[in-house]
Structure 1
Amino acid sequence: MSTRMTRFNEAQALERVANAAHEVQAASAALQQYFSPDGDAQPPMLKLVRFETAMLELSAARAHFDAVFAFASNLQGGQRDVGLLQEND
């Protein structure tokens, strides 16, 4: 895989994390209006589901980013190893 393609995949994965984090923030803000200082909360189920879904997407996006980044690091490490072997021949 080329360095350009690797960077593209990393950028897409990072964008997914950023979008998911933004959605978590928006869902959290939508829930805040239902929580009063006295602890009485009655948020609508749809708002809770939106928040839960956003959190799950953020978790999945982070895991995907970690996997893409680890793959790229391993790939680059392997390319360095091949280069070192070729230099020693």
Structure 2
Amino acid sequence: MTPRPHADLVAHLVRSTPLNEGEADRVLAEVFEWFAEPVPDFVRRRHRELAARGLTNDRIFAAITIELPERLFPAPPLSSRQLRRLVYG
């Protein structure tokens, strides 16, 4: 059996919410997918969503500029050398 990533978080959700294990797994998968969205994909998606609401590009880009710093984006893949440099300088 392959260990599940974040099994401790799933267990916490099962203990602290009415979710069962399968539901907690699905919720976490959706949350992780949401936050794994790369910046270019986020910008294009938000542009489509805001344009569909009738906003002009000036208002859309102003809104995205405000939203970007509030988002979490995944770290880029790091090599072992890059990881060592982060730890040891």
TM-score (norm 1): 0.28
- Which structure shows the higher helix fraction? 1
Larger of the two Rg values belongs to structure: 1
TM-score (norm 2): 0.28
